[in-house]
Chain A
Amino acid sequence: MLKKRIIPKFLLKDGRLVKGLRFHENIRQAGNPVSTSKVYDSYGVDELIFLDIHASVESRKTTLDIIEKVSEEVFMPLTVGGGVTSLKDIADLLKAGADKVSVNTAAVENPNFMTQAATHFGDQCMVASIDYRQVSPDIFRVCTHGGYRVTDYEPLEFALRMQDNHCGEVLLTSVDRDGTMTGYDLDMIHQLSEVLSIPLIASSGAGSLEDCMNAFYAGASAITLSSMFIFTDHSPIKIRSYLFSQGLNVRASSSSRN
């Protein structure tokens, strides 16, 4: 049967990996993206996600360069996003070696952009990246511009809209939990996965093995991990073994040629 997926999420800034807390606080350097990709490939992770958090013109050129290099040596699906605003941006990323492209702000500002992109490149190429934060008790809103601007959209409502507009997957990120390693937002994951007919990738908050398991039980098809890999000693192999021991359907560990 289809395996649950474990996906490292790499944030890129000017060609280097970085990691922050709640998106903007305490941004630290976290290494070389190409060599790090190869290390994770050897751990047998299921996919890689790269988000360019700077997304300036220069940063984008560097990102394309990194994706080209990664795709020459690592043979698993690569999702890339960050500052994607046009069909050309998507075409450039796919040409550089990305398999899926994630769109965030551009899709919120113009939901039809997702439809255009999916029509042009195929549903399976498009990931709707939805960032959200809590604005008051029980009230959550979608954010754009790297979490800086709050919109009137509610996450579930927007996710359904993106599904209607033919994206292939939703990448759901809690800005509040980012980098905190206090666990995924299980309620939100459950809410969305119950209603969406497309896969949901849960992002932000993983700090323990149980957190990972809980996200899958809440309905995620895949989880991303960032801080937990960079700042703790939990490797994908450990996570996979743990999940397997808990009865979850994950891939048996296999190493790559590296």
Chain B
Amino acid sequence: MIAIIDYGMGNVRSVFNALDYIGAEAVITSDHQQIEDSDRIILPGVGAFGQAMKNLNDAELVQVLTREVVEKRKPFLGICLGLQLLAKHGLEHGQHQGFGWLDAQVTPLESKSGEKLPHMGWNDVIPNGKHPLFHGIRSEHCVFYFVHSFQVECNDKNDILATCRYGQHFVAAVAKNNIAATQFHPEKSQDSGLEFLENFIQWQPEEC
């Protein structure tokens, strides 16, 4: 059972629909017990860092997730804002503290040569070597849907699973032990996205 964390921000329904489509059992929830009973956790997110942290803290979800993911090492996938929240802090509308699971910070994407912002659309994702989450996705189909104005800057380069280029190179995905997260939306990336989600469902982090 996959718990899709509902904290009032984010397209939980789309993630649920995609998992349902590929035959995975999932539940949209903010209930601590259901999260504890789950085998895997997905944290989606669309919107502002500060508001998200507030909602998660109000529902005491940060503690629950830290226990289930960092201590009990359940496979975890953060999506979009769900990646950014894992950083130590974010700088959107003031400085806000994140989960701190990654030695990283969230900074604005810069438009260095007139690129339009937000970074919105399909872009090539370049994995750093082989990883089960990108298994079976050929390079010409390693294209996913992005929509964001901020990026995660990882201080520990070993955490970077994949990068993308939009004017500058930026982190497209991270993986650290059982914790993975993507800046792109696999639930909105048609075949490639569904393949990625299937890989997440099969993923056994302790074998890496």
Q: Is A199's beta carbon under 8 Å from chain B?
A: yes
- Whether B122 pairs with A46 at a CB distance below 8 angstroms is yes
Q: Is A252's beta carbon under 8 Å from chain B?
A: yes
Question: Please, which residues of chain A bring their CB within 8 A of the CB of B145?
Answer: 76-77
Interface string of A222-258 (1 = CB under 8 A from B): 1000000000000000000000000000011011110
With the chains together, A173 CA to B122 CA distance in Å? 23
Q: Is B143's beta carbon under 8 Å from chain A?
A: yes
Residue A5 contacts which of B21, B121, B194 (CB distance < 8 angstroms)? B121
- Whether A222 pairs with B121 at a CB distance below 8 angstroms is yes
Question: Please, which residues of chain A bring their CB within 8 A of the CB of B141?
Answer: 252, 254
Question: Please, which residues of chain B bring their CB within 8 A of the CB of A217?
Answer: none
Q: How far is the CB of A231 from chain B (nearest CB, A)?
A: 26
Residue A256 contacts which of B47, B116, B190 (CB distance < 8 angstroms)? B190
Residue B117 contacts which of A75, A125, A197, A255 (CB distance < 8 angstroms)? A197
- Whether A122 pairs with B187 at a CB distance below 8 angstroms is no
Interface string of B107-134 (1 = CB under 8 A from A): 0000100011111111110000000000
Decide: A76 near B165, CB < 8 A? Known: A2-B122, A123-B118. no
Interface residues on A, range: 35 or more
Question: Please, which residues of chain A bring their CB within 8 A of the CB of B116?
Answer: 196-200, 221
Q: Is B140's beta carbon under 8 Å from chain A?
A: yes
Residue B122 contacts which of A3, A94, A197 (CB distance < 8 angstroms)? A3
Question: Please, which residues of chain A bring their CB within 8 A of the CB of B46?
Answer: 122, 124-125
Residue B111 contacts which of A75, A94, A122, A197 (CB distance < 8 angstroms)? A197
Decide: A72 near B122, CB < 8 A? Known: A124-B46, A197-B117. no
With the chains together, A15 CA to B111 CA distance in Å? 41
- Whether B122 pairs with A251 at a CB distance below 8 angstroms is yes
Within 8 A of A (CB), among B172-196: 187-194
Closest to B124 in A: A1
With the chains together, A257 CA to B193 CA distance in Å? 11
With the chains together, A188 CA to B21 CA distance in Å? 41
With the chains together, A3 CA to B146 CA distance in Å? 11
Question: Please, which residues of chain A bring their CB within 8 A of the CB of B11?
Answer: 94, 99
Q: What 6 A-B pairs come out closest when comparing CB atoms? A: A122-B47, A199-B116, A3-B122, A124-B147, A2-B123, A252-B140
Give me 12 other A-B pairs in contact (C-beta within 8 A), A97-B13, A198-B117 excluded: A2-B122, A2-B146, A44-B190, A75-B14, A75-B190, A75-B193, A124-B118, A196-B116, A199-B116, A222-B121, A252-B140, A254-B141
